[in-house]
Chains A and B, each alone.
Chain A
Amino acid sequence: DTGVSQNPRHKITKRGQNVTFRCDPISEHNRLYWYRQTLGQGPEFLTYFQNEAQLEKSRLLSDRFSAERPKGSFSTLEIQRTEQGDSAMYLCASTIRGADNEKLFFGSGTQLSVL
């Protein structure tokens, strides 16, 4: 169990560029969640997957945001045409849905800065 891994740790980009973040959940975790955390706020739920199926995406912040989990293992979160307001920490979490003592394991996040 190596924990939830997120890459890159930091991303600096210019406004209008596209960015993609990767999340590797704990092996065999069937649920994967994406959250966003802005300075001074708690994390905000964005979307989640059960294996490869995206069960909810209505909370994605705009149509510039999209997420995939093509093989039910790692996931990517893409932001197209970035804006300065997208600057935040993007967090990934995973769990085994239905397991005894189920709990979310969070990664350390990807810090996005849009210049």
Chain B
Amino acid sequence: AQSVTQLGSHVSVSEGALVLLRCNYSSSVPPYLFWYVQYPNQGLQLLLKYTSAATLVKGINGFEAEFKKSETSFHLTKPSAHMSDAAEYFCAVSPAGGTSYGKLTFGQGTILTVHP
């Protein structure tokens, strides 16, 4: 069984400030971990994914995330927020590989607001 907990349904930052979105997971098997972003009226877009290679994963738009097995965490960060980063972000977990790939379990989402 797998689950994802995103701490904070809303996060607000100033433009240029650090973005930190928290994600903790639970998985009975080695996991793949993902961050997706959803803009209004658009489909979910993959930001980055961890698939058991490097624990620090770099994604699009300057985002990165670090897989910490001991903390069961996969927090998303960006050094300097931009207005265009305002969106809803979802953390997701999947069993590693095999036929289960793509059967994602999502967190509840975090809405990121960026203030000028």
Contacts and interface: CB of A to CB of B under 8 A. Distances in A.
Instruction: Tell me, yes or no, whether A binds B.
Output: yes
Contact of A40 (B90, B104, B108): B108
Interface string B100-113: 01111111110000
Most chain A C-beta atoms within 10 Å of own C-beta, residue among B4, B42, B43, B106: B43
A112 interface: no
Which of B44, B103, B108 has its CB near the most chain A CB atoms (within 10 A)? B44
Interface stretch (A11-19, A64-72, A80-88, A101-109): A101-109
| Size category, A interface | 20 to 34
A103 B43 contact: no
Interface in A57-95: 91, 93, 95
Interface in A9-65: 31, 33, 35, 40-45, 48, 55-56
Contact of B46 (A31, A43, A91, A104): A104
Contacts of A103: 46, 49
Chain B contact residues, majority secondary structure: loop
B98 to A, nearest CB: 10
B65 interface: no
A42 B106 contact: yes
B45 interface: yes
B41 interface: yes
A8 interface: no
Interface of A: 3-4, 31, 33, 35, 40-45, 48, 55-56, 91, 93, 95, 97, 102-109
